[in-house]
């Protein structure tokens, strides 16, 4: 089985083509250009450079959230567009879960952290043991203070990943000796990790049609939150 995987959930964008236990190719870019400008050209070039075409793809996968509202929408829309004409199965991957796959080969608790602004982070915890990833918590938006209280109860090695990892590390200020930053090259989300997570979901029958695939947000967009505040609507 060959998967085309996409990530546009934060500043960087990446696409990958992978088979089980084999990364065939991956392109990544981290520039000021918007994902709407870079994503489809990256997909086209990756397929061309790996000697592949959409006809060779068996499934498409995407980090469907949490993350940048605009970025997530672009990635999901692109995958829906690729999947629809050929009725390819789609795999919706949690951005936080995909980052846990960056730490395959280790034995640790992975704390995936994305900066959600407004004094909050998007977070989930995962236990990685060799090539196995087990979810410990749901994806959630919570304060750094609440996350710190939770991490204080974990005695295993905890590795911080995500664009909020440095923020979290600075907040903890070395108070928890078992908590450490992931190496920079393993810290942010990548399309290859989306693919690794997707293979597990496909194995468990967790696929969607292109119509069913939707962005997954843990909070309302900022504009909607501001409007609700003016209207007196409970957040």
pLDDT tens, residue by residue, 64-110: 999 999 999 999 999 999 999 999 999 999 999 999 999 999 999 99
Rounded mean pLDDT, 196-214: 98
Is it the case that residue 158 has pLDDT exceeding 90?
Answer: yes
Let me know whether 132 and 211 are in one domain. Answer: no
Let me know whether 12 and 80 are in one domain. Answer: yes
Secondary structure string (H, E, C) spanning the chain: CEEEEEECCCCCEEEEEEECCEEEEEEEECCCCCHHHHHHHHHHHHHHHCCCCHHHCCEEEEEEECCCHHHHHHHHHHHHHHHHHHCCCEEEEEHHHHHHHHHCCEEEEEEEEEECCCCEEEEEEEEEEECEEEECCCCEEEEHHHHHHHHCCCCCCEEEECCCHHHHHHHHCCCCCCEEECCHHHCCCCHHHHHHHHHHHHHCCCCECCCCCCCCCCCCCHHHHHHHHHHCCCC
Banded model confidence at residue 229, pLDDT cuts 50, 70, 90: low
**What pLDDT is stored for residue 227 in this prediction?**
46
Banded model confidence at residue 119, pLDDT cuts 50, 70, 90: confident
Reported pTM: 0.91
Q: Determine the structural domain holding residue 46 and report its residue range.
A: 2-96+189-231
Let me know whether 145 and 72 are in one domain. Answer: no
Let me know whether 24 and 110 are in one domain. Answer: no
**What pLDDT is stored for residue 228 in this prediction?**
47
CB of 114 closer than 8 Å to CB of 101: no
Banded model confidence at residue 218, pLDDT cuts 50, 70, 90: confident
Let me know whether 44 and 121 are in one domain. Answer: no
Let me know whether 53 and 135 are in one domain. Answer: no
Let me know whether 161 and 194 are in one domain. Answer: no
Let me know whether 164 and 141 are in one domain. Answer: yes
Banded model confidence at residue 223, pLDDT cuts 50, 70, 90: very low
**What pLDDT is stored for residue 117 in this prediction?**
86
Q: What is the CATH number of the domain that holds 220?
A: 3.30.420.40
Let me know whether 198 and 87 are in one domain. Answer: yes
Let me know whether 197 and 87 are in one domain. Answer: yes
CA distance 60 to 208: 10
Let me know whether 179 and 223 are in one domain. Answer: no
Q: Which structure tokens are listed for 47?
A: 């397929």
Is it the case that residue 230 has pLDDT exceeding 80?
Answer: no
Rounded mean pLDDT, 171-189: 95
The structural domain count of the chain equals 2
Is it the case that residue 224 has pLDDT exceeding 90?
Answer: no
- Give the mean pLDDT of the chain: 93
Let me know whether 9 and 85 are in one domain. Answer: yes
Dump pLDDT digits (tens) for 38-62.
999 999 999 999 999 999 999 999 9
Picking from 171, 186, 201, the residue at the C-terminal end of a domain is 186
């Amino acid at each position: 089985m060959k998967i085309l995987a996409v990530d546009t959930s934060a500043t960087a964008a990446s696409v990958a083509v992978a088979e089980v236990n084999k990364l065939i190719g991956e392109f990544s870019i981290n520039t000021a250009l918007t994902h709407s400008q870079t994503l489809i050209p990256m997909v086209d070039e990756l397929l061309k450079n790996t000697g592949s075409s959409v006809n060779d793809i068996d499934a498409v996968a995407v980090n469907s959230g949490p993350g940048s509202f605009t970025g997530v929408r672009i990635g999901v829309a692109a995958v829906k567009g690729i999947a629809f004409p050929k009725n390819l199965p789609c795999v919706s991957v949690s951005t936080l879960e995909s980052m846990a796959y960056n730490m395959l080969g280790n034995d640790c608790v992975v704390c995936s952290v994305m900066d959600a602004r407004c004094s909050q982070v998007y977070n989930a915890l995962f236990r990685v043991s060799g090539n196995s990833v087990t979810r410990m918590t749901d994806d959630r938006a919570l304060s750094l203070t609440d996350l710190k209280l939770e991490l204080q109860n974990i005695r295993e090695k905890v590795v911080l990943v995500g664009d909020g990892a440095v923020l979290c590390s600075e907040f903890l200020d070395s108070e928890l000796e078992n908590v450490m930053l992931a190496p920079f090259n393993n810290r942010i989300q990548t399309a290859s990790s989306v693919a690794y997570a997707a293979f597990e979901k496909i194995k468990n029958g967790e696929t969607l049609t292109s119509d069913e695939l939707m962005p997954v947000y843990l909070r309302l967009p900022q504009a909607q939150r501001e409007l609700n505040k003016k209207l007196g609507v409970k957040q």
